Amino acid sequence: MEENIEREQRLARMIDDAYKDLGTVDGSRILGCTIYNYDSMKSTQEFARGLIGSKRSDGMIVLADEVKDAHGRFGREWHAPKGGLWFTLIRHDLNEFYGMAACVSVCEALQKYVPAKARWPNDVYVNEKKIAGILVEEVLESELLGASLVGVGINVNNNMEGILDTATSIVQETGREADLDYLFANVVARMKKYFWLAERYAVRRLELWDYGKEAENPIVARFKELTDIIGREVRYKPPAAEGEPQAARAVDILDDGRLVVKVNDDRVLLNSEEITLV
């Protein structure tokens, strides 16, 4: 496992430049200030877990050229060879919208290359095939303190043909390879923006709660602009449920992040259940 210090320093500068290009005044300045880049490792999530609480770990990113034991939601194996972007961000905070914020960031950055669409709750698809996924794990440091591990996997220059028919990559869709460092910098720059908005929304929601008012969620609002699921027929099944998946139609996403589906004439609220398009 070899560390690439020169690339780490270059990426930090590129993130700053990409963030400035967004023209955003407010944002989480600490995100991406410290980057560890290795040629190969077993898991960026597990490596990052061991760094929680260390010096400058808040906002730290662990980036690997290749991940040998990558997993997504529900423990599913994720193929993560060289050519893709595989990294984990450490944030010393707990926020239920970090996953959606990361999804929005990835989707926006990918739209420079492909017609990417956000897929609830936190995946990105191109032409009905998965190109990126987000995995958020919460780690309790004490009764009062917690940290979030936000794992991001993007298929870029790795060809998924013959490996997984339901997945795709930038090179498959365009026939051209993309600059990994440029894409990484643009994803992280957007994460700085949207993580700050998620954290600001959490504070604002509590402030308005005492007055019986609700604050509009900017993360959900942007996600709804990027998704193609509203109005479409879906099937859903809670992870622990038995029986066949239930057919429904997606009609909305609430400010609390839940997906609203209609089953016949009934409205059902989904939290994190897996869904598939019909």
Q: How confident is the model at residue 254 (pLDDT cuts 50, 70, 90)?
A: very high
Q: Which fold has domain 5-204?
A: BirA Bifunctional Protein; domain 2 (3.30.930)
**pLDDT value at residue 74:** 55
Q: What is the pTM of this model?
A: 0.93
Residue 148, pLDDT > 90, answer: yes
- The answer to whether 137 and 149 are in contact (CB under 8 A) is yes
Compute the mean pLDDT over every residue in the chain, rounded to the nearest whole number: 91
What percentage of the chain carries pLDDT values higher than 70?
Answer: 93
Residue 71, pLDDT > 70, answer: no
**pLDDT value at residue 188:** 98
**pLDDT value at residue 276:** 85
Question: Per-domain residue ranges for the chain?
Answer: 5-204, 229-277
Domains 5-204 and 229-277 alike in fold = no
CA distance 234 to 81: 31
Q: Which helix (H) or strand (E) holds 200?
A: helix 180-209
CA distance 131 to 18: 22
What percentage of the chain carries pLDDT values higher than 90?
Answer: 72
Looking only at the bridges linking them, the beta strands covering 85-91 and 266-270 are: unpaired
Q: Does CATH number 2.30.30 belong to domain 229-277?
A: yes
Looking only at the bridges linking them, the beta strands covering 85-91 and 61-64 are: antiparallel
